[in-house]
Amino acid sequence: MRELWITPDRQGNSMSADSAESTDHRFMHRAIELARNCPPSSTAYSVGAVIVADGVEIATGWSRETDEKVHAEESALNKLDPDDPRLTRATIYSTLEPCSTRATANRPPCADRILAAGIPTVVIAWREPSLFVAACEGVDKLRRHGVRVVELTDLAEEAMSMNTHLDLG
């Protein structure tokens, strides 16, 4: 017999561990779908992002959605008022670890934008390899600031699939 644990969801309501996992997988699959919209680039990853509050998708984004430099998390966050109260109880799903540094100097890294928005939970499928940035520290930075980071490594291959043109080593 399989054990079923009851845990609080991100809003404090009781839910099973299976239910939390299926919710995370459902929204990560949505982020993966969005990543497929990215125009391919030899200098950037194709990433999708979904922001969810109270179980409802409130914003989405993907790399290069609005301009050639926009990141997925940035694109999704740009669609919301920075003071939107839902952000403090939201989860952002990103197919790739949020960046901790940017080549575009006039844009803050996505990890900093997530911290500024007050989003308490981040769910990713894979960590950023050192192809463009020597050592991405997005997950570590978020965790140091009290953000809960969930890694869905079982979806990493699917989340990487639109980046096969890059040398992911």
Res. 167: pLDDT tops 90: no
Q: What percent of the chain has pLDDT over 90?
A: 66
Q: How far apart are CA 34 and CA 23, in angstroms?
A: 17
Helix (H, G, I), strand (E, B) or coil at 40: coil
Higher pLDDT, residue 145 or 168: 145
Average pLDDT (42-48) is 91
Supply the DSSP string of 52-89, one letter for each residue: EETTEEEEEEETTSSSTT--HHHHHHHTS-TT-GGGGG
**Active-site residues: which are they?**
73
pTM over cut 0.75:
yes
pLDDT tens digits, one per residue of 35-44: 999 988 888 8
pLDDT tens digits, one per residue of 76-96: 999 999 999 999 999 999 999
Higher pLDDT, residue 132 or 46: 46
Res. 5: pLDDT tops 50: no
Query: Domains of the chain by range and CATH?
Result: 23-161 (3.40.140.10)
Assign 105 a pLDDT band (cuts: 50, 70, 90). Answer: confident
pLDDT tens digits, one per residue of 23-39: 999 999 999 999 999 98
Tokens of 32: 């993966």
